[in-house]
Amino acid sequence: MRSKNSVRFRFGRNAVMQSVVGGIVASVGLELFLHPHDMIAGGMTGISALVSFHTEGHFGILLLLFNLPLLLLYAFMGKTSALRGVLPGLLAFAGSALLLAPFPAVSGEPVVAALAGGFCLGIGAGLAVKSGGLLDSLGLEKGDRIRPRIFVSSAPFGPKRLFVLCHGAVLVLAGAMMGWERTLYSALACIAAYETSALMLWGFRKTAWVMASKPDEILQEVRRRINMDGEVLSEERYGDEDRRFVLKYSVHVLDIPRFKAAIRHSDAKAEILWINRAVREARR
């Protein structure tokens, strides 16, 4: 039987690889589609690109420098687990951007470049967040388990509006510095990136009913690994001491392997019943 430490190591290794792949895919969208056309993304990524365009500095190095305050805040608060989730994807993002910077644009059409770049950026950001990391310190999202809660809970108008405000401010700054035509293409890329990342995070799901005798352990383990909450539907008794609980989860198709691993790790005798119906969860 595999020990808990070996299971956790394999889970951590898979999460790191997913975050690294996300960083590489995001850099492909930026360096091969957006940046050759002087387009930017929102958030700290966009600020780094603006500074890079006007100083001829390397985007990857600037990205690390501008995200450094957040990393230092994590270290100061003792959030070492968050650092382990953030660093692999961020380093892969910055490093692959440095390697891809000399390559020419894949497409010469600005609209195609904006859509393709936003698509790649959304996939990369979604993979990074699903693995417990992030690629941009200004990408404030509800339910984020990485940033300190004060970043999203103290906003008087909610994290979603704060997200729009941050990225809108970067686009307005880009319009003033680079012209509004390129900024409109950049806005199109941001919309494509946001919708693609939303599909990665909240898109096609399956409903899972879990019958288990250790519901508390399952709820805690799934929450820790996938940042997902379940619902206890009912309790059934089989004799005086044998009790089985029915839990309900809405699981993204990309999270199914990690979900199964979390269930097996918490309760080896648990049974999972899948409802083969893909649903799209309403974004809040």
Work out the pLDDT band at 280, boundaries 50, 70, 90: very low
The confidence score (pLDDT) of residue 165 equals 75
Structure tokens at 274: 């899948």
Rounded Cα distance, 136 and 164, in Å: 14
Class of 204-280 in CATH:
alpha beta
Structure tokens at 34: 């957006």
Place 87 in a pLDDT band, splitting at 50, 70 and 90: confident
CA atoms of 214 and 15, how far apart (whole Å): 25
pLDDT at 31: 94
Q: How confident is residue 145, by pLDDT bands cut at 50, 70 and 90?
A: very low
Amino acid 254: pLDDT: 77
Which of the given ranges, 13-17, 124-128, 139-143, has the highest pLDDT on average? 124-128
CA dihedral 64, 65, 70, 75 (to 10 degrees): 90
pLDDT value of position 162: 64
CB neighbours of 172 closer than 8 A, spacing ≥ 6?
Answer: none
pLDDT of 279 higher than 50? no
pLDDT tens digit sequence for 165-224: 777 788 888 888 888 888 899 999 988 988 888 788 777 778 899 988 888 899 988 888
Q: What is the pLDDT of residue 256?
A: 86
Q: Is 80 exposed, middle or buried (0-12, 13-18, 19+ CB in 10 A)?
A: exposed
Whether the predicted pLDDT of 21 surpasses 80:
yes
Residues of the chain with CATH 3.30.70.120: 204-280
Average pLDDT of the chain to the nearest whole number: 78
Which pLDDT does position 206 carry in this prediction?
83
Share of the chain above pLDDT 90, in %: 21
pLDDT above 50 for 153: no
Give the count of alpha carbons within 13 A of 210, CB side only. Answer: 29
Q: What pLDDT is attached to residue 276?
A: 60
Give CA separation, 199 vs 41, 130, 134, 161, 229, in Å: 18, 12, 16, 19, 19
